[in-house]
Chains A and B, each alone.
Chain A
Amino acid sequence: MIGNDVVDLSDPESWRDACHSSFDRRVFTPEEGQSLSMDHSDVQKRWILWSAKEATYKAARRESAEVAFSPARFVVDLDRSLRGSVRYGIRRWPVRVQIDGDCVHAVVSGDEFFTGTLSGACRLRSAELRDPSEGVRQFALSSIATELGVAISDLRIEKVSRIPQLILAGEAMPVALSLSHHGAYAGFACRDPRIEKADRVSQCAAAGKATCVSLSHDASYASIAYRSHVEQGVLR
Chain B
Amino acid sequence: MDQTEIFEKVVKILTPYVKNQKALEGISLATHILDDLKVNSARLVDVVLEFEDAFDIEIDDDDVDKVETVGNAVELIEAKIG
When each residue 37-81 of chain A gets 1 if its CB lies under 8 Å from chain B and 0 otherwise, what string results?
A: 000000000000010001001000000000011111100000000
The prevalent SS among residues of B at the interface is: helix
A159–chain B nearest beta-carbon distance, Å: 10
Contacts of A27 in B (CB 8 A): 45
Q: Are B62 and A68 closer than 8 Å at their CB atoms? A: yes
Q: Are B42 and A13 closer than 8 Å at their CB atoms? A: yes
When each residue 1-44 of chain A gets 1 if its CB lies under 8 Å from chain B and 0 otherwise, what string results?
A: 00000010000010000011011001100000000000000000
Roughly how many angstroms separate A71 CA and B62 CA in the complex, as a whole number? 11
Assess A23 versus B61: contact at CB under 8 Å? Given A54-B41, A162-B35, A182-B40.
Answer: no
Q: Are B46 and A23 closer than 8 Å at their CB atoms? A: yes
Q: Are A71 and B45 closer than 8 Å at their CB atoms? A: yes
When each residue 64-101 of chain A gets 1 if its CB lies under 8 Å from chain B and 0 otherwise, what string results?
A: 00001111110000000000000000000000000000
Q: Are B49 and A26 closer than 8 Å at their CB atoms? A: yes
A133–chain B nearest beta-carbon distance, Å: 8
Q: Are B49 and A54 closer than 8 Å at their CB atoms? A: no
A112–chain B nearest beta-carbon distance, Å: 26
Assess A20 versus B41: contact at CB under 8 Å? Given A69-B65, A73-B61, A162-B35.
Answer: no
Size class of the B contact interface (CB-based, 8 Å): 10 to 19
Assess A69 versus B64: contact at CB under 8 Å? Given A13-B43, A182-B40.
Answer: yes
Assess A20 versus B65: contact at CB under 8 Å? Given A162-B35, A182-B40.
Answer: no
Which B residue's beta carbon lies closest to that of A67?
Answer: B65
Contacts of B65 in A (CB 8 A): 68-70
Which B residue's beta carbon lies closest to that of A162?
Answer: B35
When each residue 211-224 of chain A gets 1 if its CB lies under 8 Å from chain B and 0 otherwise, what string results?
A: 00000000000000
CB within 8 Å of A: which of B35-80?
Answer: 35, 40-46, 48-50, 61-62, 64-65
Residue in A20, A68, A69, A182 whose CB lies within 8 Å of B49: A20
Residue among A7, A27, A54, A68 having the largest count of chain B Cβ atoms under 10 Å: A68
Contacts of A50 in B (CB 8 A): 42
List residues of B whose CB falls within 8 A of some A CB: 35, 40-46, 48-50, 61-62, 64-65
List residues of A whose CB falls within 8 A of some B CB: 7, 13, 19-20, 22-23, 26-27, 50, 54, 57, 68-73, 162, 182
28 contacts between A and B (CB under 8 A): A7-B42, A13-B40, A13-B42, A13-B43, A19-B42, A19-B46, A20-B50, A22-B49, A23-B45, A23-B46, A23-B49, A26-B45, A26-B48, A26-B49, A27-B45, A50-B42, A54-B42, A57-B41, A68-B61, A69-B44, A69-B61, A70-B61, A70-B62, A70-B64, A71-B45, A71-B61, A73-B61, A162-B35
